[in-house]
Amino acid sequence: MLVMTHLQKVYRTHLIETHALRDFSIHVGEGEFVAVTGPSGSGKTTFLNIAGLLEEFTGGEYKLDGVDVGGMNDAERSRLRNEKIGFIFQGFNLIPDLNLFDNVDVPLRYRGFDAAERKRRIEESLTRVGLASRMKHYPSELSGGQQQRVAIARALAGSPRLLLADEPTGNLDSLMARGVMELLEEINRQGTTIVMVTHDPELAARAQRNVHVMDGQVTDLGEAPRFRKTPHAAAATA
């Protein structure tokens, strides 16, 4: 689904160069739920933004669903992003002047769906996150956990194959965080591939695989559960 090989990202300002990603390689298979951990400034958001086609990279290769992203222009990248990717940002990024219905509608407008199809998708995704009755409410009238669920509904409304989440529970208390995590697990069970950046070890432990990032590099690719040798795992936990 997502394959990055020797990826590099250098931010250049007039004074300094920051190597946000150096030789970053990762493979996320279809249907996986991967948690990405690592210290602040290690490159997690940079990785996610590039994965989500929101930012360009400066070297290496990225294939999304078999398609080489490297040679694409802006328009091609936007089309691919709208079609395949849902993004949950660090912070909720809801638009305060729009009610929930209109917030979820924002990315759908770029997809060329007609009004009836958009309405169907908005109602379905808000129902999925348990907020069907709040469609005319504004973000400021919701709790943090509810706002994060709207952000999830917005990411899901376009039926993405790949859901990218940057600290989706970062601003939530532990009870709300658990609720959001359960929702993501449910979404993953229904077939969406998920890559989630988190600082929360308890949530990371619930993902199928943990990838650790340090200094712009993947230092531990984790082990996909299907490759685990059961007797070993059993012995290790015994």
Ligand X SMILES: Nc1ncnc2c1ncn2[C@@H]1O[C@H](COP(=O)(O)OP(=O)(O)OP(=O)(O)O)[C@@H](O)[C@H]1O
Sheet with 59-64, strands from edge to edge, namely 17-28, 2-12, 59-64, 67-68
Question: Which x/- pattern over 45-64 shows residues binding ligand X (rule: CB under 6 A)?
Answer: xx------------------
Cα–Cα distance between 195 and 207 in angstroms, integer?
A: 9
11 binds ligand X (CB under 6 A): yes
Give the residue, chosen from 4, 32, 33, 43, that forms a contact with ligand X under the rule CB under 6 A: 43
Give the residue, chosen from 24, 44, 168, 188, that forms a contact with ligand X under the rule CB under 6 A: 44
* CA dist 208 → 47, 184, 224, 225 (Å): 19, 12, 7, 6
Residues in region 30-89 near Mg ion by CB under 5 A: 45
Nearest CB to Mg ion, comparing residues 82 and 171? 171
Partner from ligand X, Mg ion, none contacting 78, C-beta within 5 to 8 A by type = none
What is the separation of C-alpha 172 from the centre of its chain, rounded to a whole number of angstroms?
A: 17
Contact 31, 195 (CB under 8 A): no
Nearest CB to ligand X, comparing residues 40 and 230? 40
Cα–Cα distance between 38 and 27 in angstroms, integer?
A: 17
As measured in angstroms, the least distance from the Cβ of 52 to ligand X is 13
Interface with ligand X (CB under 6 A): 11, 18, 20, 38, 40-46
Interface with Mg ion (CB under 5 A): 45
